[in-house]
């Protein structure tokens, strides 16, 4: 089974559409969504609509989804995030807010070998930034492969005894451990923060035992114009071109 892995779309329909177009050329069978459909970007309704149309095989909520839906207070966010999520909640329809509120809490098992979460299996809002965080997440995981998001930074954590290696003859494809646990963040669709402004996503092939980490150029100027037109904080537009 080939799974299209999407996370942290953050209301950026320009990036999401570019990713979906690229993913068609790569090929996939089912879709996994790891949360934060909204927040920061200026097209949350379009992103929700597109996500629903994808009919995800498995999906979990992100922290921005929770706050937009009113499940948690916006006071937990910094000023820029708070202003953007309050705007998001104000422009979404009751049906869209209900959809966000109904997104399940992670982690969620996809099959015996794969699970998804937004932050970690032990805390849906915890960030995995280093080996210590990854070790705790791996211990809490219920499956050998754990897909996560939240940091907006692509990363793979595996053991030294069974490292992740390049797949012979396949561009941008990595061979995953067959026994040891591995944690994978494919990076953010809508707001990358690794210095590369291109949209990020992944394709997990659990039968082949591999992950492809893809980067896709998209209409950043269009996304920025939408943010500015919505009178959201200017920094949200600027950071897209910097990959921050």
Mean pLDDT along residues 128-138 = 93
Indicate if the pLDDT at residue 169 is higher than 70.
no
The confidence score (pLDDT) of residue 175 equals 87
Query: How sure is the predictor about 164, in pLDDT bands with cuts at 50, 70 and 90?
Result: confident
Whole-structure pTM value? 0.96
The rounded mean pLDDT for the chain is 95
Indicate if the pLDDT at residue 162 is higher than 80.
no
The confidence score (pLDDT) of residue 165 equals 75
The confidence score (pLDDT) of residue 166 equals 78
Q: Give domain 2-242's CATH superfamily.
A: Metallo-dependent phosphatases (3.60.21.10)
> What does the H/E/C string look like for the chain?
CEEEEECCCCCCHHHHHHHHHHHHHHCCCEEEECCCCCCCCCCHHHHHHHHHHHCCCEECCCHHHHHHCCCCCHHHCCHHHHHHHHHHHHHCCHHHHHHHHCCCCCCEECCCCEEECCCCCCCCCCCCCCHHHHHHHHHHCCCCEEECCCCCCCEEEECCCCCCEECCCCCCEEECCCCCCEEEECCCCCCCCCCCCCEEEEEEECCCCEEEEEEECCCHHHHHHHHHHCCCCHHHHHHHHHCC
What are 198-230's pLDDT values in tens digits?
A: 999 999 999 999 999 999 999 999 999 999 999
The residues spanned by each domain of the chain are 2-242
Query: How sure is the predictor about 99, in pLDDT bands with cuts at 50, 70 and 90?
Result: very high
């Amino acid at each position: 089974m080939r799974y299209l892995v999407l996370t942290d779309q953050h209301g950026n329909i320009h990036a999401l559409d570019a990713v979906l177009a690229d993913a068609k050329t790569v090929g996939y069978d089912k879709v996994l969504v790891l949360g934060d459909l909204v927040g920061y970007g200026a097209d949350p309704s379009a992103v929700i609509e597109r996500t629903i149309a994808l009919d995800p095989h498995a999906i979990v909520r992100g922290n921005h989804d929770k706050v937009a839906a009113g499940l948690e207070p916006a006071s937990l966010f910094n000023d820029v995030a708070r202003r953007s999520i309050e705007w998001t909640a104000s422009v979404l329809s009751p049906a869209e807010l209900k959809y966000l509120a109904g997104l399940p809490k992670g982690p969620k098992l996809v099959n015996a070998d794969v699970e998804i979460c937004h932050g970690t299996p032990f805390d849906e809002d915890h960030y995995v930034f280093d080996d210590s965080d990854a070790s705790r997440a791996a211990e809490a995981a219920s499956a050998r492969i754990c897909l996560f998001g939240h940091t907006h930074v692509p990363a793979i954590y595996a053991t030294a005894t069974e490292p992740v290696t390049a797949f012979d003859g396949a561009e941008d494809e990595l061979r995953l451990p067959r026994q040891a646990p591995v944690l994978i963040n494919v990076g953010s669709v809508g707001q990358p923060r690794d210095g590369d402004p291109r949209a990020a996503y992944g394709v997990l092939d659990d039968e082949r035992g591999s992950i492809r980490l893809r980067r896709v150029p998209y209409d950043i100027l269009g996304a920025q114009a939408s943010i500015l037109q919505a009178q959201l904080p200017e920094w949200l537009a600027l950071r897209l071109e910097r990959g921050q």
